[in-house]
Structure 1
Amino acid sequence: MQYTLVTGGNIVDIVNKKVFPGQILIEDGIIKEVGEKVAAPDGCQVIDVAGNTVLPGLFNCHEHMTMAPDPNPEAVADTDAQMTMKALHHLEQYIETGVTYVRDVGSSHFIDIDIRDAVKSGLVKKAPDMQVSGQCICMTGGHGWNAGGRQADGVDELRKAAREQLRAGADWLKIMATGGVMTRGVEPGSPQLTEEEMRAAIEEGHKVGAKSATHAQGNIGIKNAIRAGIDSVEHGIYLDDEAIELMLKNGTWLVATLCAPYYINKYGIENGIPEYAVRKSKMVIKDHYASFIKAYRAGVKCALGTDSGTPFNSHAGTGNELVLSVGEGLTPLEAIELATINSATMLGVEKELGSIAPGKKAHLAVFAGNPADNIQDILNCVMTIKNGEVLYNKL
């Protein structure tokens, strides 16, 4: 057996919402014991993280691994090989910022599925664990069509498109309920796929235990998706009381992706972002942030994602979503909860991951300072451990 003792730092117990100085004993990649003082077996490897804080490995539940955060994604025409190489680089960036689990919500040509399988087999090591969705499913000319989306119209075509993703090995289905910011000629508030179309795809996923996520920004499209049985709403820009009540009733998750409009607005046209994207982002950002905090305070289940791969929205920037969440009124511990146990629960891996507890996988992220006290410290990862193995070390 291989034993490792992580010692000298503070530990964030996210379930009980407390921080304490302690030690973590790992046995063959699994957390065996957590406490203020833990006996180390003979021959145990010791990792000293004195002066730093240990969190569960972070999650990013809305990312696009094959997309680089270029100013104008429409202007990029990568080959499959180029997208794959970029994806592997992006996955390293997640590890180097304390992210040990991601959900990819739309990649071209099933590259995400192949990479997931390579990570599972051990062929690719410096990468998070992941769940993936294959191609997003959109209406003809709808949001995402020009980013490798599977265009489909009508109930039968939606059912077939869903079956194609499932046949390829998708864990989730990604369905486009509304227009969006980054597709030319569509508007964020406009409904696209109908309730009936989405229901057909969602039913196919649920038959085999696969969940469905929807890009949903406009209010009508959001409600259509919730009524159709969607598992998670992505972005959720225009949420009214009725939509929130529907989410509470149905147990629907929200992944707000506050980073996406933030960076488009920050860098703007002067840095090469298309005018239409900047215009739409400026139009939605106030409602986007207000909808997130309103839903969170109402008790809607929220997980964390960034929409990394959109303009200037780096795959190394998961921590920025926590910072923005705190800026909207969450406490640092609440933001950490979104990025750990909440996200693990949405993805159905909370029994294995999402908190530091005996019996769970040793996916750990070490940060300088104490993010539970000062959320800015979440931007300074100094070590990442996955399955008990140190994959990144800046100490």
Structure 2
Amino acid sequence: MSIKLTNVTLYTGKGDKLENTAIIIEGNTVKAVGEEAVRLPARTVIDGTGKTIIPGMFDMHVHLGMDGVGDPFSQIDGDSPAISAYRHHVNAQKQLKSGVTSVRNLGSRWHIDLEYRNSIADGLMTGPTVYGSGQAIVMTGGHGYPFSTEADGEDGVRKAARETLKAGADVIKLMATGGVMTPGVDPGSPQLSEREMRAAVEEALNAGKTSAAHAQGTEGIKNAVRAGITTIEHGIFLDDETIGLMIKHGTVLVPTLAAPYYIVQNAESGGIPPHAVKKAVDCFHTHRTSFRKAMDAGVRIAAGTDAGTPFNAHGDFAKELELMHEYGLNVRDIITAATFNAAKVLNADPTVGALEEGKMADFVILDEDPEKEIGAFRKVQAVYKGGVCVHEHTGKLEAIVGS
């Protein structure tokens, strides 16, 4: 059965904006968009006057096993595998309702994200498409070590990567530097070496998979880029040399601007460990400057929040997009960062990430146009995944059957 939404504004995800246009969905795929969709008939026609349609969005850095409490590491430590699995599902539903139809989960204890991914793919439950890393790989005592796989030396890291791929990981997550949340480590200090990371990246590539590096300090970022990493997560301390290196290697930046923002905004809450507050405050302004420099230089950006970190709630993807806009990225590029760029990072762009003929019908209906009001990303009227409405607010669109 074909469904046409007419009189809408539509962003393709590839930088194009179509106004007073249409899209036709047939089964689980997009049949037509733009002038062709306006021209072609459909069994059901829905008047979408005033609505804006964008592709289903990707949050490229989430932790489904973390709720955004002040001390998420303590929460993880106290969870049983069963409770963690339930937590993954609840948080994934929040993502879906916000218009995020795909998430890249970058670190879950016991590889629970991989089993949760499988449960959705097998139809046991509805949720966003999950691309999972399982447990991250860190040096002994490295950032996030309490819920990661510790490994040292090229052989040790290579073996850990192979074991993680054996468990079914879609992406290998590595810790290239220290981080904010782990006590006793400096966000600016390198951790896994270039050679260690290259060993893991080689294994990921051999298996047809991608890689991601938590990388905040300059030297650690350069190590990860030279090692062939697919994405740099956070990228707090970027200089001109590092940015040039990223452009040369085609490395994508996932800035996670919301993560330090929410720690700084809630620094006086008393719920966040003092060491994390201090490090986030020290990094905050540099992070913003680095993002702007990378953006101006033409580094490819994919949107991710680090959802699950302190006060950084699942379902608040819009905040990352608002911060990108505040720091200078235009709305069409923001949408591309949250859709097509993200899909391309995951090698999923042949089937998702844009609204065009033949691609999966993952899309979001907004009540307003984000080019007119950046807050429109919060005004989700409906979310469709594979042509099926998986979330709808009150006030259904009017359908004209048999047009």
TM range (shorter): over 0.9
- Once the two structures are superposed, residues 247-292 of structure 1 have per-residue CA deviations (whole angstroms, 9 ceiling, x without a partner) of 1111111100000000000011424111110100000011111111
Contact 1:12-1:372 at 8 Å conserved across structures: no
TM-fit CA distance, 1:344: 1.3
* Aligned counterparts of 2:148 and 2:250: Cα–Cα separation in 1: 27
- Matched residue type, 2:129: D
Please give the root-mean-square deviation of Cα atoms over the aligned residues, in Å: 1.3
2:85 is the counterpart of 1:90:
no
1:330 corresponds to 2:329? yes
- Cα displacement string for residues 39-92 of structure 1 (whole angstroms, at most 9, x for unaligned residues): 333xx3444433221111111101111111111113221111111111111111
On the 8 A contact 1:336/1:372 being kept in 2, the answer is no
When the two structures are superposed, what TM-score results if normalisation uses the length of structure 2? 0.94
The answer as to whether partners of 1:332 and 1:374 remain within 8 angstroms in 2 is no
- Which residue identity is paired with 1:217? Q
Distance 2:371 2:53 in 1: 10
2:151 aligned with 1:144, yes or no?
Answer: no
Aligned twin of 1:80: 81
Instruction: Mark the CA change 1:210 to 1:13 in structure 2 (over 3 Å): closer, same or farther.
Output: closer
Map 1:376-387 to 2 at 5 A: 376-387=375-386
Question: Matched residue of 2:269: which SS?
Answer: helix
Tell me, what secondary structure is at the counterpart of 1:303? coil
1:347 aligns to 2:346 (yes or no): yes
Letter in 1 for 2:358: G
Q: Which runs of 5+ in 1 are unaligned?
A: none
Cα deviation, 1:112-163, whole Å, max 9, x if unaligned, reads 10111111111121x11121111000011110112x1001111111011101
- Contact 2:101 2:128 (C-alpha < 8 Å) held by counterparts: yes
Match of 1:236 in 2: 235
> Does the 8 Å CA contact 1:25/1:38 hold for their aligned counterparts?
no
> 1:277 corresponds to which residue?
276
Q: CA deviation at 1:21?
A: 1.6
342-351 vs 105-114, which moves further: 342-351
1:161 corresponds to: 160
Contact 2:295 2:329 in 1 (8 A): no
Amino acid at match of 1:56: P
- Kept in 1, the 8 Å contact 2:64–2:113? The answer is yes
Q: 1:118 to 1:248 in 2, by over 3 A?
A: same
Q: Given the alignment of the two structures, is residue 111 of structure 1 paired with residue 81 of structure 2, yes or no?
A: no
The alpha-carbon deviation at position 295 of structure 1 amounts to 0.9
* 2:13 maps to 1:18: no
Q: Which residue of 1 aligns with 2:387?
A: 388
Shift of residue 350 of structure 1? 1.5
Q: TM-score, normalised by structure 1?
A: 0.96
Q: Deviations along 1:315-350, whole A, 9 cap, x unmatched?
A: 111111110000001112221111111111111112
Shift of 1:373: 2.4
* 1:202 alignment partner in structure 2: 201
Question: Which residue pairs with 1:63 in the alignment?
Answer: 62
Deviation, 1:164, is 0.8
C-alpha contact 2:234 2:253 (8 A) present in aligned 1: yes
Equivalent position amino acid for 1:143 in 2? H
Whether the 8 Å CA contact 2:117–2:129 is kept in 1: the answer is yes
What secondary structure does 2:253 align onto? strand
Using the alignment, how far apart are the partners of 1:155 and 1:290 within structure 2? 34
Match of residue 268 from structure 1: 267
Partner of 1:130: 130
In 1: Cα distance, 2:343 partner to 2:2 partner: 25
1:349-376 CA-partner distances (Å, limit 9, x unpaired):
1221222111111001011111132211
| Farther off after superposition, 11-20 or 155-164 | 11-20
Equivalent position amino acid for 1:386 in 2: K
After TM superposition, give the deviation of residue 16 of structure 1 in Å. 4.5
Which amino acid is the alignment partner of residue 122 of structure 1?
G
State the one-letter code of the partner of 2:17: K
Distance 1:8 1:80 in 2: 48
Q: Secondary structure of the equivalent of 1:9?
A: strand
Tell me, what secondary structure is at the counterpart of 2:10? strand
SS at match of 1:302: coil
